[in-house]
């Protein structure tokens, strides 16, 4: 019984699956025409004209060699026959005389007119001087014929141009301040009256009175003294130690050389090198030059207060060992 039921159910299940495959559309594909026939393609044979055009397009063009061009023969140009021709005569041009322009130009007198010359005033009649030895004569009128008027002097007119006054064109001397001012007149010295003799102190008499004494003169303020010689020597020694340290910092000896160089350096209180000399050579020129270069390169300190000389000399020794 159970075998029959199982067989019936299997047959029914197979029938249902087959009906489903027949009725339901296949999900993996679609119609060739598309939805509504929009994707339909119609194939038609090409016309003979279109086929001929495609054949001409696909055909390879034929390549032909270019024809060689003929080279023309090099021929000499024809020679032009020479013609004996006489040169054309040139027309003779007569030289024209330059026009005389001097006749047409009027002459102008460029001379300056002569300045007016004032007429000379007639000289007054000279009066006769009285003679010392002549005796006094009565005053009688002289005849008019004795007095002769002097002829007036006529001015002379010259054609020459008036002489211009000379102008001094030399430059004026520059004003320079005198090198030394004038000394004022010495005045007579004033005489100072001699101080009167000091009077003895007076004491007042009376009950409870104290004696009055003269005021003592004020003492001058003490003058400050400078540092002693020992202090100056100590300051110079401290400064020399600072100079030695600065010189050793600036010393750069060459490699592979050993020796001792002695130098004498003169230094100003401002710390500047006034002079340097080689007191003892090391026997090696490179080592000596390095010591002198260290003096130029070093920055020396200033002198302490109290050292006021123009320069101080210091002996320095630089030793280099391998």
Asked if the structure places residue 253 within a domain, the reply is yes
279: helix, strand or coil: strand
Residue-wise pLDDT tens digits, 163-193: 555 655 555 554 544 444 445 555 656 665 5
Q: What is the mean pLDDT of residues 196-215?
A: 48
Asked if the structure places residue 115 within a domain, the reply is no
Two tokens, residue 239:
């400064």
Asked if the structure places residue 273 within a domain, the reply is yes
Residue-wise pLDDT tens digits, 62-117: 777 777 777 777 677 677 766 666 666 776 766 655 656 555 566 776 777 666 66
Asked if the structure places residue 248 within a domain, the reply is yes
- Rounded to an integer, what distance in angstroms lies between the CA atom of residue 151 and that of residue 144? 17
**277 and 244 in contact (C-beta within 8 Å)?**
no
Asked if the structure places residue 159 within a domain, the reply is no
Residue-wise pLDDT tens digits, 146-162: 445 555 555 555 555 55
Asked if the structure places residue 278 within a domain, the reply is yes
Question: How far does Cα 226 stand from its chain's mean position?
Answer: 51
Helix and strand counts by DSSP (H, E) for the chain? 4, 3
Residue-wise pLDDT tens digits, 258-298: 899 999 999 999 999 999 999 999 888 999 999 999 999 99
Q: Domain range spanning residue 262?
A: 229-320
124: helix, strand or coil: coil
pLDDT at 30 over 80: no
Asked if the structure places residue 261 within a domain, the reply is yes
Specify the pLDDT at position 143: 44
| Total domains in the fold of the chain | 1
Torsion of CA 114, 115, 116, 120, to 10 degrees: -100
- Which CATH number is 315's domain given? 3.30.1150.10
Asked if the structure places residue 113 within a domain, the reply is no
DSSP for 54-93, please give it.
HHHHHSPPP--PPPPPPPPP--PPPPPPP---PPPPPPP-
Establish how many alpha carbons lie within 13 A of residue 66's alpha carbon, considering only the half-sphere containing its beta carbon.
3
**164 and 115 in contact (C-beta within 8 Å)?**
no
């Amino acid at each position: 019984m159970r075998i029959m039921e199982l067989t019936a159910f299997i047959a029914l299940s197979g029938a249902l699956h087959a009906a489903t495959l027949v009725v339901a559309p296949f999900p993996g594909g679609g119609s060739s025409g598309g939805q509504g026939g929009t994707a339909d393609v119609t194939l038609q044979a090409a016309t003979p004209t279109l086929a001929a055009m495609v054949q001409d397009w696909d055909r390879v063009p034929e390549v032909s060699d270019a024809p060689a061009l003929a080279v023309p023969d090099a021929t000499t140009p024809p020679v032009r026959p020479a013609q004996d021709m006489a040169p054309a005569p040139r027309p003779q041009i007569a030289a024209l005389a330059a026009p005389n322009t001097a006749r047409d130009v009027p002459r102008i007198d460029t001379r300056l007119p002569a300045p007016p010359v004032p007429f000379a005033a007639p000289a007054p009649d000279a009066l006769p001087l009285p003679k010392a030895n002549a005796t006094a004569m009565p005053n009688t009128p002289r005849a008019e014929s004795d007095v002769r008027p002097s002829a007036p002097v006529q001015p002379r007119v010259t054609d020459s141009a008036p002489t211009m006054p000379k102008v001094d064109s030399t430059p004026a001397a520059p004003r320079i301040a005198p090198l030394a001012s004038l000394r004022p007149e010495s005045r007579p010295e004033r005489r100072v009256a001699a101080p009167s003799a000091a009077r003895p102190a007076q004491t007042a008499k009376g009950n409870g009175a104290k004696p009055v004494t003269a005021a003592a003169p004020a003492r001058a303020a003490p003058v400050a003294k400078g540092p002693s010689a020992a202090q100056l020597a100590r300051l110079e020694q401290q400064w020399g130690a600072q100079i030695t340290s600065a010189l050793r910092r600036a010393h750069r000896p060459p490699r592979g050389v050993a020796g001792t160089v002695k130098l004498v350096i003169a230094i100003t209180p401002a710390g500047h090198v006034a002079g340097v000399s080689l007191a003892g050579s090391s026997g090696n020129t490179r080592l000596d030059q390095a010591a002198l270069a260290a003096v130029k390169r070093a920055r020396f300190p200033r002198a302490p207060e109290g050292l006021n000389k123009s320069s101080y000399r210091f002996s320095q020794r630089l030793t280099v060992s391998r």
